[in-house]
Amino acid sequence: MPMRLNDQEPLIYETLKTVFGFGAFRPHQESIISRILNKQDVFAVMPTGGGKSLCYQLPTKLLPGTAVVISPLISLMKDQVDAAQSVGLAAVFINSSLSAHEVSETYRKLRAGKIDLLYIAPERFAMPHFIDTLKNITVSFFAIDEAHCISEWGHDFRPDYLSLSNISESFPEAPVAAFTATATLKVQEDIIHKISLRSPYIIRASFNRPNLFYQVERKTAVNFQILEFLKAHPAESGIIYRTTRNSVMETAEFLVSQGISALPYHAGLNADERTRNQEAFNRDDVLVMVATIAFGMGIDKSNVRFVIHADLPKNIEGYYQETGRAGRDGEPSVCILFFSRGDIPKIRYFIDQIPDDKERSISLGKLNRMVGLASHNVCRRRQLLKFFDEEYPADNCNACDICSGGTEQVDITVDAQIIMSAIQRTDQRFGIGHIIDVVTGADTKRIRQWLHNQIKTYGAGKHRDKNYWRSLADELLSQEVIRQDGDRYPVIKLTDRGLDILFGKTRLTALKRDEAKAASLGSRDERYDKLLFEKLRAIRKGLAEEQQVPPFVIFSDKTLHEMCRYYPTSAPEMKKINGVGEVKLERYAAIFMTEIKKYLDDHPDISTDSISSIDPYYTRGNRHKKKPGQTVEETYSLFQKGLSIEDIAKQRGFAPSTIIGHLERLIRDGRDINPDRLIDPVKREEIEKLFRASKQWNLGPVVEQSNGAVNYDEARLVRALLLNKTASVAAED
């Protein structure tokens, strides 16, 4: 029987903090999780970095059975599983990268009920034998990631997704949650219909990514422009997108020749080289990836600090998806587009090859919207959000080049009249390129053919270069003074407002702006100890290499930044840092606290902020907030009454690992805990010997040396008993 939403709230928040280490949800996460727990279908549009993985990972700790996550990103599955396992989830994937033996072993665990979270590709769901396997286990719910792939109206349609429409018929008791980062209202309607969602709870989170700074610069010598940016952002990780394989290789080779740590990625490289390069980037072995759009869907790297588009994207959906790979950890990041109108014909060429008139028209319309985003002097954020049917409420976003550059209004009436006169005198039958040739007095065959060198406006603008007139034309388009008419070969026409300006009935002003340089962003939060950050980052990388996972799986940059603001040196302090749950506290915290203590000893002048200001549980007005220690005391009371760990977990609605964490804390505090009720005395003695032999308190070596005889929970409890015994002896001395 599903729990009522209000009854779930305390349990959800407890799990959020103890398992994932977060004190508050991001927008909409809690409501989505509550609906999944209540067995309701969900459709959620959440921007990249909005925290959708938590929406299906957290419920697996609270629901019986296995959650099945369907994702097209095979190259991303291992990172997703590593991240889930790092917080204590029993997560696995099945895809073509596994051997037959590994797949067989995963199926065995699945049938034995030992899997919380299973990641698969949509192709596997279409296999009848796989469906039969799922029907013989308890499936808690299905999560469909990248759900826009099922819609032919989306930018990344994949036919293999169509089989997912059978989920609700084959598993009527299991709720389905579909997630995507990019979906217009039309795509949303198509997804809901194709997956057959049943009266879904619909969330359209804001597409606004406030931590991203959007900037467009005129594209000149683009490789040198990129190099200038990279030199201003040393030691930062980022992606550079190029359109073609050749341009990827050219830029990558140029950057390497200039001493930049960079690698290429495109479909022309063999699979092994692509995998090696991607892993090197994910694991911070290389800082910069130069890639075609083939790269990006397969990464979950949280600390990408910049995304550069060195060529014009073909649509806003793709641009938004690609820029969304920056700043997934919520930290400030930069998105730069180097724009040249010379890129437009290259994209138009491929659009013109599309045989279907309707599809070609849609693609051309999307290209025109993308050109508008790059060329119009209107807030970039406002334009992006408008594409996704969202209005930006503020007048100034303060985080794009338009809004943060120095601005003033200037009168452009006279120059606007020059362009519009040329349009009028050529009967509104030509494109903007020809009109600019006319006003600048170009001597072209077409101008002579149409006798446009004889009209009054010919050469009237030769005192300015073509770039100026192109920018002015973009401004007139954005202010709807002129408009484009036609798809394949658009011509420029005057609007009613344009006619009023042309004939002097009204004047026209425009925003003149100074370029805002991303290299000198004032919005970036630099309030952390950068020297300590580099030390902690080195420790993180060493741990990641030992465990063969990307560094962000250990801790995100955001978590390290917080450590470098508050300098936690004890377990209670470390537990208040965002991203430090119980499992990570046990596995990793000691080595980071040791480094922080050493750093403070070496820098006695540092005045540390009070970490007590960080609320360890609920930071956003949770009315069920408990006083520190109260939940542990409840566990202690039940244990003293004779209940087992499993019974306490069941009665309190927690995972057994959470109860073990409570008991561990009680033991360290010297409370009366009978160790024989926790672990058999003989086994406890063996574990104690392993700790003494390892000469350290880390759990990993003890578990590994036991060859599977000891699990992490048992090691945690014995370590607590030993530490308590050591502390008692020290006190007597």
Predicted confidence (pLDDT) per residue in 335-353, tens digit: 999 998 788 888 888 888 8
668 touches 572 (CB < 8 A)? no
146 touches 44 (CB < 8 A)? no
Token pair listed for 710: 């000891």
What does residue 309 show for φ and ψ, rounded to 5 degrees?
Answer: -100, 110
Per-residue CA distances from 426 to 437, 443, 484 (Å) = 12, 16, 15
Per-residue confidence (pLDDT) for residue 497, from 0 to 100: 92
422 touches 405 (CB < 8 A)? no
Per-residue confidence (pLDDT) for residue 618, from 0 to 100: 29
The CATH number given to 5-204 is: 3.40.50.300
Cα–Cα–Cα angle for 413, 419, 420, nearest 5°?
80
600-607 own/partner pairs: CB under 8 Å, 24+ apart: 600/567, 600/569, 606/529, 606/567
Establish how many alpha carbons lie within 13 A of residue 454's alpha carbon, considering only the half-sphere containing its beta carbon: 4
Q: Give the bridge partners for 94, in sequence order.
A: 120
Per-residue confidence (pLDDT) for residue 502, from 0 to 100: 93
Per-residue confidence (pLDDT) for residue 604, from 0 to 100: 77
List strand residue ranges (DSSP E) for 466-516, in order: 482-485, 491-494, 509-513
Cα gap 19→623, rounded to integer Å: 21
Domain extent listing, the chain: 5-204, 212-404, 407-513
Cα gap 550→559, rounded to integer Å: 15
Cα gap 714→87, rounded to integer Å: 17
Cα gap 569→479, rounded to integer Å: 57
Token pair listed for 205: 């989170």
Summary mean pLDDT of the chain: 84
Per-residue confidence (pLDDT) for residue 149, from 0 to 100: 80
397 touches 403 (CB < 8 A)? yes
Global confidence as pTM: 0.64
Class of domain 407-513 as given by CATH: mainly alpha
Token pair listed for 269: 């490289």
| Average pLDDT along the chain, 733 residues, taken 10 residues at a time | 55 90 87 93 85 92 93 78 90 88 90 92 84 91 87 67 82 92 82 89 89 90 92 90 94 93 91 88 92 72 92 92 88 92 85 86 87 85 88 86 72 93 94 93 92 94 88 82 78 92 89 52 58 92 88 91 91 91 91 91 70 37 38 84 86 75 78 86 88 71 78 82 62 43
**Element holding 662 (H helix, E strand):** helix 656-668
Q: Which of 287, 352, 294 has the alpha carbon at shortest distance from 318?
A: 294
Per-residue confidence (pLDDT) for residue 488, from 0 to 100: 62
**Element holding 274 (H helix, E strand):** helix 271-282
Per-residue confidence (pLDDT) for residue 308, from 0 to 100: 97
**Amino acid residing at 116:** D
219 touches 266 (CB < 8 A)? no
Q: Do domains 5-204 and 212-404 have the same CATH topology?
A: yes
How many Å from the N-terminal Cα to the C-terminal Cα in the chain? 56
Residue with tokens 């976003």: 397
Per-residue CA distances from 570 to 335, 566, 577, 585, 592 (Å) = 38, 11, 11, 10, 10
Pick the CATH number of 212-404 from 3.10.620.30, 2.60.40.3950, 3.20.20.70, 3.40.50.300: 3.40.50.300
Cα gap 601→274, rounded to integer Å: 44
Cα gap 417→498, rounded to integer Å: 9
Token pair listed for 126: 């279409």
Crossing angle of helices 712-732/681-694, nearest 10°? 80
Per-residue confidence (pLDDT) for residue 698, from 0 to 100: 64
Cα gap 21→53, rounded to integer Å: 15
Cα gap 557→570, rounded to integer Å: 20
